[in-house]
Amino acid sequence: MNEGRATGGGRLLTFAAWSVLVLGLWMWGREITGVPSPLAGQAGGAAAPGLPAAHAPLAAAVPARVDVPSMGIQAPVIARDLDAQGAIEPPPYEQPGSVGWWRGGPQPGAAGTALMVGHVDTKSKPAVFYGLSSTSPGEKVRVVRSDGSVAEFTIEDVRVHERAGFDPDKAYGQRVKGRAELRLVTCGGTYDKAAKQYSANVVVSAYLTGVSIRSGTAA
C-alpha cells in the first residue's frame, strides 16, 4: 500500500494525529469490552495459508529494540503510557528514530496483541516508520527483549485505516486467540496542512513464528 504525503518537506506527528488512533484503543479496551486488558489471549490457532505456523507465546519480557530487516530498521524501544485524554504518548519529537511500546498492553512475544508506534517523518527527513506501508506479508519483524531472547514475528498483512469511521477492533483485535501478535503503527494517507494531521493510520499486523537467543542460536 502506498502512503500519501504532502509535498514541501516532512513534519512530525502532532497530538491530533495520534488521538483517533489511541482514543479508539482506550475506548475499545475500557468501554466496549469492559475489561482492563482486553488484548491477552488464551489458546493457539492456525496461520494463514502460505505463512509459517505460529510459535507458542513466550514468557513476558520488556522489549529493548525492534528490527525490520526489509526496511533496514534497528530502533530502540521506549515504553509509553496513555495520557489523561486516553491517547498514547508518541515517542519524543527529539527521538524520531525510536519506537514507542504501549506498556499497558502485552509485551511483544507474550500472548495477546502488543502495540508499537513510531513517527513517519520529521520537518526535514523520514522518521523510523517512514515506508512502513511498503512492507509485505511474509517479511520479518524481530524484537530484542530484556531477557536476552529475540522474538521473531512474521507479517501477515498491512492495512491503511482511515480516521473517518475508525474501527479499533479491526486495528487492534487479536486475529487468532492465544497467539502472540504485534502491531506496528504510524500515520498514513494524505497530509492535511490546515489540520496538521494525516488522514489515516498504517497498521502492520504480525504474529510470533520463532525465537532465538541474542547470539542467533535457535531456541
What's residue 28's pLDDT?
Answer: 37
| Cα-Cα-Cα-Cα dihedral sign, residues 160, 69, 51, 215 | negative
The distance in angstroms from the start CA to the end CA of the chain is 34
Query: Does position 57 have pLDDT exceeding 50, yes or no?
Result: yes
Q: Which residues contact 37 (CB under 8 A, 6 or more apart)?
A: 29, 104, 105, 106, 112
Asked if 115 contacts 173 with a C-beta cutoff of 8 angstroms, the reply is no
pLDDT tens by residue, 163-181: 777 677 777 778 899 999 9
The CATH homologous superfamily for domain 15-40+52-213 is Sortase (2.40.260.10)
Query: Does position 31 have pLDDT exceeding 60, yes or no?
Result: no
Mean per-residue pLDDT of the chain: 76
Domain boundaries defined on the chain? 15-40+52-213
What's residue 16's pLDDT?
Answer: 39
Amino acid at 117: V
Q: Which three cell numbers stand for residue 198?
A: 494525516
What's residue 32's pLDDT?
Answer: 28
Q: What is the pTM of this model?
A: 0.76
For residues 13-42, b (16+ Cβ closer than 10 Å) or e, as one string? beeebbbbbbbbbbebbeeeeeeeebbbbe
Strands 140-145 and 63-68: antiparallel
pLDDT tens by residue, 89-106: 888 888 999 999 999 999
